Amino acid sequence: MNLKLGDIALNFQIATTTGDIDFHDWAGASWVFFFSHPADFTPVCTTEMGRTAQLSGEFEARNVKPLGLSTDSVEEHLKWIEDVNATQNTTLRFPIVADKDHEIAQLYGMIHPGESETAAVRSVFIIDPNKRIRLTMTYPMSVGRNFTEILRVIDALQMGDKHKVACPADWKPGDKVIIPPSVANEQAKDLFPQGWDEIRPYLRMTKV
């Protein structure tokens, strides 16, 4: 399945390390950071699972629920979590999907045969409370994800939704944002009474 930005994230029912879930029910009114891994008991994956657990407070502050996936069983995941906790000095509490039959990995296009016929690559789906896919990223098996970027893009999406703005390259919270060209100056006066810098008519920067 080739899921695109703006598509509804497909629903599924599956066993996880915290019990069986219906994905949409489990997500509820939260954002979701849904991310796949090649396999349990592998080094890069262990650091990524640990980092996600270490950042649980950051995800919670943004109303984001992490949901991991790898193509092993619940029993294997639970044993692996013991290793993740011990080696990454954390306590992993979010669910990990047990996708032994690749059902969800196929549904979400996480199997890339050029990398592996049997294991998921490092896919990321950021899903909003309306269940719309807002960001996808795909990393190869050999490179761990950048969690600073994952939090940054969630901040940027939530900022854009709240203030009807876009975020420039390398934006981080506190930086100036862009008034999109779709907002005419007359409307911008209402939306951004604090004013803006007009660098070009199509490039207007403001602080929110």
Per CB under 6 A, residues contacting ligand BEZ are 38-39, 42-45, 141-142
Between 15 and 44, name the residue whose CB sits nearer to ligand BEZ: 44
Catalytic position from the list 9, 14, 45, 133:
45
b/e map 53-69, b = 16+ CB within 10 Å: bebbeebeeeebbbbbb
Contact present, 62 and 155 (Cβ < 8 Å): yes
Between 23 and 66, name the residue whose CB sits nearer to ligand BEZ: 66
Least distance to ligand BEZ, CB of residue 141, Å:
4
Q: Compute how many other C-beta atoms are within 10 angstroms of the C-beta atom of residue 177.
A: 22
Contact present, 158 and 168 (Cβ < 8 Å): no
Least distance to ligand BEZ, CB of residue 43, Å:
4
Q: Which residue has the tokens 């943004």?
A: 62
Least distance to ligand BEZ, CB of residue 45, Å:
4
Least distance to ligand BEZ, CB of residue 42, Å:
3
Least distance to ligand BEZ, CB of residue 128, Å:
28
Distance separating alpha carbons of residues 23 and 25, to the nearest angstrom: 6
Between 37 and 204, name the residue whose CB sits nearer to ligand BEZ: 37
Residue 202 buriedness (CB in 10 A; 0-12 / 13-18 / 19+): exposed
Q: Which two tokens stand for residue 26?
A: 């489990």
Distance separating alpha carbons of residues 206 and 177, to the nearest angstrom: 5
Catalytic: 45?
yes
Between 23 and 34, name the residue whose CB sits nearer to ligand BEZ: 34
Q: Residue 99: CA atoms inside 13 Å, Cβ hemisphere, count?
A: 27
Residues recognised as catalytic: 45
